[in-house]
Amino acid sequence: MTTRAEALAAIKKNYAELTPGQKVTARRFEPADAPGVARLFYQVYGDDYPVDEPYVPELLIEANKTGRIRTFIVTVADGSVVGQAAFYQSSPPNKRFYEYGQMLVDKAYRGTFAVARLHQFAVKNMFGQLEGVDAEFGEAVCHHTTTQKMSRGVKYIECGLELGLMPQTAYAGEGVTGRVSCLLQVRVNAPGQGVLQMPVCWRKQVQALLPRWPLERDEHFSDPACRPPDGSATEMATQHFAFAGVTRLNVSAAGEDFADRLKAELAGAKARGHALVQTYLNLGAPWTSNAAEVLRQAGFFFAGFVPLWFGPEGSGPDALLAQRFLSPQVLADIKTQSEEGAAVVAMVLADMARAGREFGSPQAAPAVPVPTEPLQPEPVLPETVQPKTAAPAE
């Protein structure tokens, strides 16, 4: 098997600029495209993309063969890969919940219809049509509304705001000041049935978002007095995104030690110099309210409700997303394309302010005032969509 270092060396050795101006066509990935995809990732990210698959052709071919990644490309007559996007398994523990992203276009083809061709191919052939995919999500940057509009057109529904997720450096040259926020948008293809334990402290937010999809949920109000079983251990997966300065916790099961584990994670994130901690909390356990209260008392604020995030078989449990900044941050302008998106932004900002008042949690302040009304997309010439830069694991 080729190593990442060997693959990168081969890419650099064979690297050549593409001939601009050729007509682009979109289609599904084929094994012969793997070196072209690798070249594209190298052009956009250099050596720094945190995952090996795009650089190592055998890995990308295998990932597409197993369905873990569903790559599609835009290509030109000479066979060059000028753009790519993918549906892929990422942070959700539910492996039937795919992320839509990794949209990259060669610099010679930015300002063309390459992005639009990719997206149209996905509209016709992929959204809601992929075998083994019960739900899809995207993280649409908020310093412009292009990605939000593309996602919304294919039934991705706003359900959370990853406030201040990405550092300004990820969008150099775009005139961004401050950390960039991303709207979480989820499309549910197969809602299934499941239990939803409503966390008392954030029930209004969850109840406001829940009707946005036709979910079949057996809803319960989780009793705040219900505690995790004695001696139970928290099941939690931690991801460190060094480039973004983000620690992400996936709490599959909050145990009796949850408060202590959370305290340790916060201390570790602070020691790493991270800006933000995100926690996805499983909403399937009877002691959900207790666990949510642990988060609230630790200064977290509500950031989203994400259906199907945790289900091993795709039917839930759903997740609550809570966030806490570790130091005061400046936020880039937050633009929303829809009323639903604007409502999510208002909901999350209000709860962050509440966390500041009640627990002194560090705040993220917009560099400019956040609009209360959704903005109409600006009339601009066709341009590539800047991908949300994935962050490397430490």
Partner 1 sequence: MTMSIDNLRGLLEEAGVRPELAKSLDPAAPMLRQGIDSIDFPTFCALLEERFGVSLDDATALSLRTLNDFARFLKENA
**Contacting positions for partner 1 (CB under 8 A):** 21, 23-24, 112-113, 116-117, 119-120, 146, 149-150, 153, 376-383
Instruction: Report the alpha-carbon distance of residue 80 to residue 39 in Å, rounded.
Output: 10
The smaller minimum CB distance to partner 1, of residues 103 and 348, is found at: 103
3-class SS of residue 311: coil
One-letter-per-residue 3-state SS of 131-198 = CCCCEEEEEEECCCCHHHHHHHCCCCEEEEEEEEEECHHHHCCCCCCCEEEEEEEEEECCCCEEEEEE
Find the shortest distance in angstroms from Cβ 366 to partner 1.
24
326: region left, alpha or beta (phi > 0 left; psi from -120 to 50 alpha): alpha
CB nearer to partner 1: pick between 187 and 296: 187
- Shortest Cβ distance from residue 379 to partner 1 (Å)? 5
In the complex, least distance from residue 377 CB atom to partner 1, rounded to whole angstroms: 4
Shorter beta-carbon distance to partner 1: residue 21 or 214: 21
- Please identify, using beta-carbon distances, which residue of 273 and 377 lies nearer to partner 1: 377
Neighbours of 133 (CB within 10 A): 23
Shortest Å distance, C-beta 77 to partner 1: 11
Q: Which one, 113 or 243, has the nearer CB to partner 1? A: 113
- List beta partners, residue 193: 216
The distance of closest approach from Cβ of residue 109 to partner 1 in the complex, given in angstroms and rounded to an integer, is 9
Output 192 or 374, the one with its CB closest to partner 1. 374
What is the closest distance, in whole angstroms, from the C-beta atom of residue 155 to partner 1 in the complex?
12
Radius of gyration of the chain (CA): 21
Q: Which is nearer to partner 1, 21 or 211 (CB)?
A: 21
- How far CA 271 is from CA of 267, 276, 298, in Å, comes to 6, 12, 17
Q: Are 205 and 302 in contact (CB under 8 A)?
A: yes
Ordered DSSP codes for 283-302:
S-STTHHHHHHHHHHTT-EE
CB of 385 to partner 1, least distance (A): 9
For the record, the structure tokens of 41 come out as 């990732």
Based on CB atoms, which residue is closest to partner 1, 24 or 81? 24
Q: How far does CA 225 lie from the centroid of its chain?
A: 33
Compute the least distance from the CB of residue 15 to partner 1, in Å.
25
**10 Å Cβ neighbour count for 266?**
20
